[in-house]
Structure 1
Amino acid sequence: MVILREGMCPGLDEALIRDLRAADIKTVEDLVSSDIEEVAQRCSVSYKALFAIRRVLLAQHTAFPVSGADLYEELLSSTAILSTGNPSLDKLLDSGVYTGEITELSGGPGSGKSQVCFAVAAHISFHLKQSVIFIDTTGGFCAGRLLQMLQTETSNTQEQMEALQRIHVSRLFDVYALLDCLYGLRGGGLQQTSVGGGSVKAVIVDSVSAVISPLLGGKQNEGMSLMIQVAGVLKTMAKDFNIAALVTNHVTRSASGEVQPGLGVSWSHIPRTRILLERVEKSAVFSPSGLRSATLIKSSRQPCPIKEELNLQWWSRSQEASSSGKRKLDETDS
């Protein structure tokens, strides 16, 4: 379901949205399936204007048939693979994150989700010279971590600053702000961000579950609707603009006690690829604190599950970062 919003199409202004909601018409589905003549009378709006709005919404939200050959040609011409910079993670992802798709990292507190997001952003910015949109919904973003990662790639201060400038950060703390941000990016924000800094190749949301999970459960359907809206705009943006969408998710436990990604079954169909990150408990006193278990639990390209040992300190492996113990970037990671 897509909630009706002001500006979705010409004529759909704030006053009409208010009247439609009073008539219990809140979504695009409600409007296109209703009796337009009856709604026009209840909302005191002309039948012709409401019919035009309905026609535009149908055109925007109705799927049109496309042949498999056309889809395959489009895939070959548009898909790019963006390396994460970590061989173990790239192996799980079949070479890296793919544009046009949503990739999910799920894990509990301290599992390394945020650090992987920082590392992917730094790698794309520095090595590909492309821009990254980083949406922080938890307040956990740290520019210092990014800088430390970039310092392991180059000692040139100007190159470090240029790479940081290609990472555009938004701090948002509720799902409505997230939707506004995503709709704004899809509606022109991506092109504006690309000016002077390389085209946007990735949108990272850390974390998508932080703003959605509080709205789920109970008898309210609004949370589910908002979740599907977030998924829809991420998917269309990734496909239409040939970018990779990387999101993080929390974990829950099933009835049998098994760790699994949060947000439920409805969300599980959204990401094309899902990786579960977990801490690795080592008996050795001096075992690396950055060691994680990464399990591929969903993929359209590789059999599942596949497990790899992931060292978070790979991205800070030089300049004595891992040996000094002073740059353990994962210690406060969420």
Structure 2
Amino acid sequence: MVVLREGMCPGLDENIVRDLRAANITTVEDLVASDTEELAQKCSLSYMALLAIRRVLLAQHTAFPVSGADLYEELLSSTAIVSTSVPSLDKLLDSGLYTGEITELSGGPGTGKSQVCFAAAVHTAHQLKQSVIYIDTTGGLSASRLLQMLQVQTDHVEEQMEALQRIRVFRVFDIFSLLGCLHTIRCGGLQQASLGGGSVKAVIVDSVSAIISPTLGGKQNEGMSLMMQVAGALKTIAKDFNVAVLVTNHVKRGAGGELQAGLGLSWSHVPRTRLLLERSKSPGPLLGSTRTATLVKSSRQPCHIKAEFDLNWVSGPEEGLLGRKRARDSSDS
């Protein structure tokens, strides 16, 4: 269900939304299913205005059939691939994060989800010279870590600052703030973020489960509706603006003790591609830094293939951050 909000379409202002709610019309489904003429009389609203609003909302939220050939042509003309900057993960993802799609990293605490998000943001901002929208829902975004990654890639302070300016950060800590943030992005936030240089090519939400999970414990129906509104907003942003959306999710144990991504079956259909991150049993270049990624959902690659990566990398899993800095420092001395 999609809740009616002011500004969803031309003509749907605050007064009309208030009158519709007074008539128990709170969602797009309610409005579409109602008798427009009867509703106009009941709410003392213009029949023609309500009819126009209904038509626009139907066009926005109704699926129209397209041919496979049209979809393939659209794919060829619009899709770009954004690297995570981690070769082993890019290989699992069939080259990287695809624009127009949602990619999910699921894993427990300390498995590297945020570090991969940092790396993808830094690579997009510095190497690609494109903008990134980073939605931080846990307070875990580390500006010093972003700068540290940039310092390994370039010694020029000006380049570092330009890259940081291309990463626009939103901090939200509840689902209503997240929905408001996504609405802002859809209604002009992407253009504003592009003012720092380059178009927006990635939207990162770290973590989506930290916001959604608390809503699923109380009124189940309401929480599920809010979760699917978040999913719909993310899909719309990915598709309509041709950006790569990267989200992180927690994990839980299944009936057989296996790790599974959180948020349940309904959410499992949202990401196009999903990686499960775990602590690796084999030692990395630096003690405890090696992680394992498993491809658990993909339409391009065989599932359940694995790859290892090092949390201390910047450009690749074989070269840790400290090792690269030491090598560069020794060559400078």
TM-score (norm 2): 0.91
| Aligned-residue CA RMSD (Å) | 2.0
Gap change, CA 1:152 and 1:322, over 3 Å in 2: closer
Does residue 138 (structure 1) correspond to residue 157 (structure 2)? The answer is no
How far is the alpha carbon of 1:154 from its aligned partner?
1.0
- Specify the SS of the correspondent of 1:314: coil
Does residue 266 (structure 1) correspond to residue 257 (structure 2)? The answer is no
Does residue 296 (structure 1) correspond to residue 295 (structure 2)? The answer is yes
- Specify the SS of the correspondent of 1:104: strand
Aligned to 1:199: 199
CA contact (8 A) 2:152 2:324 kept: no
Aligned to 2:330: none
- Specify the SS of the correspondent of 1:289: coil
Instruction: Map 1:1-334; keep pairs closer than 5 Å.
Output: 1-282=1-282, 288-315=287-314, 317=319, 320=322
How far is the alpha carbon of 1:182 from its aligned partner?
1.4
CA contact (8 A) 1:136 1:206 kept: yes
**Alignment length (residue pairs):** 323
How far is the alpha carbon of 1:52 from its aligned partner?
2.3
Corresponding letter in the other structure for 1:291? T
Stretch deviating more after TM superposition (219-228 or 139-148): 219-228
Distance 2:314 2:46 in 1: 61
- Specify the SS of the correspondent of 2:135: strand
- Specify the SS of the correspondent of 1:260: strand
How far is the alpha carbon of 1:281 from its aligned partner?
3.6
CA contact (8 A) 2:312 2:321 kept: no
- Specify the SS of the correspondent of 1:50: helix
How far is the alpha carbon of 1:319 from its aligned partner?
6.7
How far is the alpha carbon of 1:322 from its aligned partner?
7.1
Gap change, CA 1:183 and 1:285, over 3 Å in 2: closer
Corresponding letter in the other structure for 1:307? K
CA contact (8 A) 1:313 1:322 kept: no
Gap change, CA 1:123 and 1:97, over 3 Å in 2: same
The CA deviation string for residues 139-162 of structure 1, in whole angstroms up to 9 with x for no partner, is 001100001111111111111111
The CA deviation string for residues 161-201 of structure 1, in whole angstroms up to 9 with x for no partner, is 11111111111111111112112112222122212411111
Stretch deviating more after TM superposition (40-49 or 185-194): 40-49
Corresponding letter in the other structure for 1:185? I
Distance 2:324 2:260 in 1: 31
The CA deviation string for residues 250-308 of structure 1, in whole angstroms up to 9 with x for no partner, is 111112221101111111001000001111245x6985322111100000100111111
- Specify the SS of the correspondent of 2:71: helix
Distance 2:207 2:262 in 1: 11
Percent identity (aligned): 72
Gap change, CA 1:285 and 1:302, over 3 Å in 2: closer
- Specify the SS of the correspondent of 2:288: coil
Distance 2:284 2:178 in 1: 42
How far is the alpha carbon of 1:36 from its aligned partner?
2.0
Segments ≥4 residues shifted beyond 6 Å: none
- Name structure 2 gaps, 5 residues minimum: 327-333
- Specify the SS of the correspondent of 2:52: helix
Stretch deviating more after TM superposition (166-175 or 41-50): 41-50
CA contact (8 A) 1:152 1:318 kept: no
How far is the alpha carbon of 1:74 from its aligned partner?
0.8
TM-score (norm 1): 0.91
- Name structure 1 gaps, 5 residues minimum: 325-334
Distance 1:87 1:173 in 2: 32
CA contact (8 A) 1:107 1:261 kept: yes
How far is the alpha carbon of 1:321 from its aligned partner?
5.1
Distance 2:81 2:10 in 1: 38
